[in-house]
C-alpha cells in the first residue's frame, strides 16, 4: 500500500454504525452471484463491507466525485476484495450510464445530499438497467406525509438546505411517485436505526 493510497482512503463514521443493519435488509434481496451496481458509493467502505460479506456477488461501485473514486480504489487495493470492481465515474442524473447488465442496484445516503434531478435519474436508470423484478435498494432519512420526525431530523434537514438549497430530506410519497412513473413499485419500507428507512423498489414485469 503506497502512501498515496493510504492518504486517498476516506472514512465515514456512519458506515460502522449502519452497515450491519443495511446488510441485514439487503442480503436476502440479492440472488446468488448477482451483479450489483452501487450508486454514490462515497468513501467505498460500504462496497468493501458488502462485497466481503457476500463473496459470490460482483459489486460495482460508482461515484461522480474523483476524490470518492480515488478513495474507493484505495480501499479495494488495501483490503484486497476480489469481487469489488474498479469504481465507475457515474452521475445518477446523467442520461446515459456507463454500465453493463446488472441484477440489483444499491443507493445509500444519496437522495438527501443531491439535487432532485439525481433521484429522477436514479429511477430512470433503474428502469433502464434492472431486469424485471430486479431490486433497487435505497437507504437514508426521509419525510413521510410531509412531516419530519424526530426533531433531530428537522435540524438535519435545515442544515442540509443551508449547505445547498437543492438538498434536503425527500418526501417518501414523492420518491414513490417518481419511481412509479418509471415502472418501479415500492415493495417494502423498513424502519432502520437512527430514524432512517430502507426502501426496496422492484422493476415491474416479473
Residue 203's SS3 state is strand
191 has pLDDT over 80: yes
pLDDT at 152: 81
> Element (H or E) spanning 59, and its range?
strand 58-60
Confidence at 5, pLDDT banded by 50, 70, 90: low
**Mean pLDDT across the stretch 150-176?**
92
107 has pLDDT over 60: yes
pTM for this predicted structure: 0.93
Residue identified by cell 466481503 is 52
Distances (CA, A) of 140 to 5, 32, 110, 184, 190: 29, 25, 7, 18, 11
Cis omega (within 30 of 0) for bond into 150 = yes
Confidence at 11, pLDDT banded by 50, 70, 90: confident
Domain span holding position 133: 3-203
Supply the CATH number for residue 77's domain. 3.40.50.150
- With a pLDDT cut of 90, the percent of the chain lying above it is 82
* Structural domain count, the chain: 1
Q: Which long-range contacts (CB under 8 A, 24 or more apart) does 92-99 make?
A: 92/39, 92/40, 92/64, 92/118, 92/119, 92/121, 92/122, 92/125, 93/117, 93/118, 93/120, 93/121, 94/121, 95/121, 97/125, 97/128, 97/129, 99/37, 99/60, 99/62, 99/129
pLDDT tens-digit readout, 45-97: 999 999 999 999 999 999 999 999 999 999 999 999 999 999 999 999 999 99
Residue 34's SS3 state is coil
Distance between alpha carbon 169 and the CA centroid of its chain, in Å? 15
pLDDT at 16: 82
Distance between alpha carbon 69 and the CA centroid of its chain, in Å? 15
186 has pLDDT over 80: yes
pLDDT at 45: 96
d(CA 201, CA 176): 9
pLDDT at 4: 45
Question: Mean pLDDT across the chain, nearest whole number?
Answer: 93
Residue 87 per-residue DSSP state = P
Confidence at 205, pLDDT banded by 50, 70, 90: confident
Q: Which residues pair with 58 in a beta bridge?
A: 35
Confidence at 179, pLDDT banded by 50, 70, 90: very high
Amino acid at each position: 500500500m503506497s502512501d498515496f493510497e493510504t492518504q486517498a482512503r476516506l472514512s465515514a463514521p456512519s458506515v460502522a454504525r449502519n452497515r450491519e443493519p443495511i446488510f441485514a435488509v439487503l442480503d436476502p434481496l440479492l440472488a446468488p452471484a448477482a451483479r450489483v451496481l452501487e450508486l454514490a458509493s462515497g468513501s467505498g467502505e460500504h462496497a468493501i463491507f458488502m462485497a466481503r460479506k457476500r463473496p459470490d456477488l460482483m459489486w460495482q461501485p460508482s461515484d461522480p466525485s474523483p476524490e470518492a473514486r480515488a478513495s474507493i480504489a484505495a480501499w479495494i487495493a488495501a483490503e484486497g476484495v476480489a469481487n469489488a470492481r474498479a469504481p465507475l465515474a457515474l452521475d445518477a442524473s446523467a442520461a446515459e450510464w456507463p454500465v453493463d447488465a446488472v441484477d440489483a442496484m444499491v443507493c445509500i445516503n444519496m437522495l438527501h445530499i443531491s439535487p432532485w434531478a439525481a433521484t429522477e435519474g436514479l429511477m430512470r436508470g433503474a428502469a433502464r438497467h434492472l431486469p424485471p423484478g430486479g431490486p433497487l435498494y435505497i437507504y437514508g432519512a426521509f419525510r413521510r406525509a410531509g412531516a419530519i420526525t424526530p426533531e433531530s431530523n428537522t435540524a438535519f434537514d435545515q442544515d442540509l438546505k443551508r449547505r445547498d438549497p437543492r438538498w434536503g430530506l425527500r418526501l417518501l410519497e414523492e420518491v414513490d411517485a417518481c419511481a412509479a412513473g418509471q415502472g418501479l413499485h415500492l415493495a417494502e419500507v423498513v424502519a432502520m436505526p437512527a430514524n432512517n428507512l430502507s426502501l426496496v423498489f422492484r422493476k415491474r414485469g416479473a
